[in-house]
C-alpha cells in the first residue's frame, strides 16, 4: 500500500518555474491597449509592474530560474505534502486511487504565497517599497501581506466590502503582518468614489477592488501593483506545485489519469496542471479537469473574447473566457472563484481541447467537502472543495464504468476562516443560484464593442 503522505526533502524544492507558453500548440493572443487596440508593450505596463515580471509575462523560455532569496522563503513551508486519500477512497467505496497535493500548509493557508513572495521580491529589487492589491475572501491579501512582511515592504489591500465585514479575522491576519486594509469600494480612489456615488451600499466585487488597487499603484512611483491570479507570470510562479507533485507521484509509483483543480482566475489549477500538461503535449494521456462554480461559470458558459480584467475598465484587454467585466456573481461562499474571467493561458488550453471544464452547485460541493473532512480530517477552503467534488465525481463515474483511475487533485487551501460557510451548509441555508442565460447575455452586451480575438 502507498504511504499516506509522500514528502520531499527541502533539497527537492524546484529551482526553476515551468513556462507552458513555450510548449503550447497555440500561443495566447496578445493583450491589447484599450485606447489603441494595439498589443501592449513593456512600457505600458511599467508603471504597474516591475520589469522582471513584465519580461516573464511575455517570455517564451521553457524554464525560468527561481531567485535564491525567493526559494529561501518558500522553504518555510515547501515542498508541500502529497497525500494518498486512502480514507476518502474507503468512504466512497471506490476502486480508483485518489491523491491530493496540499497547499494549505503555507502560513497564509493557501497556494497564494508562492507568487506573492516572488512578486514582492522583484518589486523590492526594482526599488519600489510599497505594493497595492485587491482581495476577495482575503486569501490573496493575506498571502501578499505575509510576503511584504517577510521582505520588508509596505502593503495596501483593497478588500471587497462584503468579505471585509464577513471575514474580520482574515483582515486581522493581514494587519498582524503589517498590511493596511480598507473596505472596497472606498473613498480613497476615484474608482471607489464613483461606485459609492451610484450605490452607497455597494457590497463591492473583485472587479471593483482591482480598479482601486490599479489606480492606487498607477498614481504612486513608490508602489507596484500585485495580482494574485490570471496573469502569465502568476501562473508561472505556481508551477512549483505541479513539479513537486510529479516527483511525489513518481515516489508513490503512480501517474495520474486525471488531474483536477478549481478555477477562479486559474492560478492553483495552472500550478498543479501545467507540468502535467507538458507531459500531455509530449504524448501522455491525461484528462485535465477544471472545476468552477455554477454561479460563475466562466469556462463552461462564457465565450472566448477580449475583455477588461476589472469593472472600472482600467486594465488592458485580455483574451480569455469571460462573463463580461460588469458581471457580478451571486454571493456564493467560494469568494475566490467569483471572478468574471479566467487566465488567458488556461482559456487558450480549453479552446485547444487540452483542458476541459465542469461547473458545480455549492450544495453538492459542500456535501463533498464534508465527506472529505469526515475521512481525511482537513477542512477545505470552499474554493478547493470544488476540486474535491470533481475528484469524487470522477471516482464515482469510473466505478460506474467499471474502470480504475488514478486521480490527482489540488487542495489549494484550508477553510479555517470559512466556518460561517460550513455553518450555513450544515444548517441547510445554502442557496444554489441558478444563473439564467438572459443574465449572461445582458452582461456580455458590455463587451460587444470591444475587439474580437482573431
Ligand X SMILES: Cc1ncc(COP(=O)(O)O)c(C=O)c1O
User: Can you give the binding site for ligand X, defined by CB under 6 A?
Assistant: 110, 136-137, 139-140, 229, 262-269, 336-337, 381, 383-384, 412-413
Minimum CB–partner distance for residue 438 and ligand X (Å): 27
Residue 39 sits at φ, ψ, to 5 deg, of -55, 140
Minimum CB–partner distance for residue 85 and ligand X (Å): 18
- Residue 110 or residue 119: which is nearer to ligand X going by CB? 110
Residue 226 DSSP SS3 = coil
CA 449, 134, 358, 19 torsion: positive or negative? positive
- Residue 264 or residue 361: which is nearer to ligand X going by CB? 264
Distance between CA atoms of residues 422 and 429, nearest Å: 10
- Residue 110 or residue 368: which is nearer to ligand X going by CB? 110
Distance (Å) of CA 290 to CA 33, 196, 235, 258, 398: 29, 35, 14, 11, 18
Minimum CB–partner distance for residue 92 and ligand X (Å): 22
- Residue 138 or residue 203: which is nearer to ligand X going by CB? 138
- Residue 273 or residue 392: which is nearer to ligand X going by CB? 273
Distance between CA atoms of residues 246 and 253, nearest Å: 11
Minimum CB–partner distance for residue 17 and ligand X (Å): 16
Minimum CB–partner distance for residue 381 and ligand X (Å): 4
Distance between CA atoms of residues 421 and 411, nearest Å: 17
Distance (Å) of CA 53 to CA 224, 234, 338, 377: 11, 9, 25, 38
Q: Which three cell numbers stand for residue 204?
A: 463591492
Distance between CA atoms of residues 433 and 365, nearest Å: 13
Minimum CB–partner distance for residue 208 and ligand X (Å): 16
Residue 321 sits at φ, ψ, to 5 deg, of -70, 135
- Residue 133 or residue 406: which is nearer to ligand X going by CB? 133
- Residue 159 or residue 398: which is nearer to ligand X going by CB? 159
Which residue has the closest beta carbon to ligand X?
A: 336
Minimum CB–partner distance for residue 386 and ligand X (Å): 8
Selection from 389, 304, 388 nearest residue 350 by Cα: 304
Selection from 180, 211, 206, 181 nearest residue 194 by Cα: 211
Amino acid at each position: 500500500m502507498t504511504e499516506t503522505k509522500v514528502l520531499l526533502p527541502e533539497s527537492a524544492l524546484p529551482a526553476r518555474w515551468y513556462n507552458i507558453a513555450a510548449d503550447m500548440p497555440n500561443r495566447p493572443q496578445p493583450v491589447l491597449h484599450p485606447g489603441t487596440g494595439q498589443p501592449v508593450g513593456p512600457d505600458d505596463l511599467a508603471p504597474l509592474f516591475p520589469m522582471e515580471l513584465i519580461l516573464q509575462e511575455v517570455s517564451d523560455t521553457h524554464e525560468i530560474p527561481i531567485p535564491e532569496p525567493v526559494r529561501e522563503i518558500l522553504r518555510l513551508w515547501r515542498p508541500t505534502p502529497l497525500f494518498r486519500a486512502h480514507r476518502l477512497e474507503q468512504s466512497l467505496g471506490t476502486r480508483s486511487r485518489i491523491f491530493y497535493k496540499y497547499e494549505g500548509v503555507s502560513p497564509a493557508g493557501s497556494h497564494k504565497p508562492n507568487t506573492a513572495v516572488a512578486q514582492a521580491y522583484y518589486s523590492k529589487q526594482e526599488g519600489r517599497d510599497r505594493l497595492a492589491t485587491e482581495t476577495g475572501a482575503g486569501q490573496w491579501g493575506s498571502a501578499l501581506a505575509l510576503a511584504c512582511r517577510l521582505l520588508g515592504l509596505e502593503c495596501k489591500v483593497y478588500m471587497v466590502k462584503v468579505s471585509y465585514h464577513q471575514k474580520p479575522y482574515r483582515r486581522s491576519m493581514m494587519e498582524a503582518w503589517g498590511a493596511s486594509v480598507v473596505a472596497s469600494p472606498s473613498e480613497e480612489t476615484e474608482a471607489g468614489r464613483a461606485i459609492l456615488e451610484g450605490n452607497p451600499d455597494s457590497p463591492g466585487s473583485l472587479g471593483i477592488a482591482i480598479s482601486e488597487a490599479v489606480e492606487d499603484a498607477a498614481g504612486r512611483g513608490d508602489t507596484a501593483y500585485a495580482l494574485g491570479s490570471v496573469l502569465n507570470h502568476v501562473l508561472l510562479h505556481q508551477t512549483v506545485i505541479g513539479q513537486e507533485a510529479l516527483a511525489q507521484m513518481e515516489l508513490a509509483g503512480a501517474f495520474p489519469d486525471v488531474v483536477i483543480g478549481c478555477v477562479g482566475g486559474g492560478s492553483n489549477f495552472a500550478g498543479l496542471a501545467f507540468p502535467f500538461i507538458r507531459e500531455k503535449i509530449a504524448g501522455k494521456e491525461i484528462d485535465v479537469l477544471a472545476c468552477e462554480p455554477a454561479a460563475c461559470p466562466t469556462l463552461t458558459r462564457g465565450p472566448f473574447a477580449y475583455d477588461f480584467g476589472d469593472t472600472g475598465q482600467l486594465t488592458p484587454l485580455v483574451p480569455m473566457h469571460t462573463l463580461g467585466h460588469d458581471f457580478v456573481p451571486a454571493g456564493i461562499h467560494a469568494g475566490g472563484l467569483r471572478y468574471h474571467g479566467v487566465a488567458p493561458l488556461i482559456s487558450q488550453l480549453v479552446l485547444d481541447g487540452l483542458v476541459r471544464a465542469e461547473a458545480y452547485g455549492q450544495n453538492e460541493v459542500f456535501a463533498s467537502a464534508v465527506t472529505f473532512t469526515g475521512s481525511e480530517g482537513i477542512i477545505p477552503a470552499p474554493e478547493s472543495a470544488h476540486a474535491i467534488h470533481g475528484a469524487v465525481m470522477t471516482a464515482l463515474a469510473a466505478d460506474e464504468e467499471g474502470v480504475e483511475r488514478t486521480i490527482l487533485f489540488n487542495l489549494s487551501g484550508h477553510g479555517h476562516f470559512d466556518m460561517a460557510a460550513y455553518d450555513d451548509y450544515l444548517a441547510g441555508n445554502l442557496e444554489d443560484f441558478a444563473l439564467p442565460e438572459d443574465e449572461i447575455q445582458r452582461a456580455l452586451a458590455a463587451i460587444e464593442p470591444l475587439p474580437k480575438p482573431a
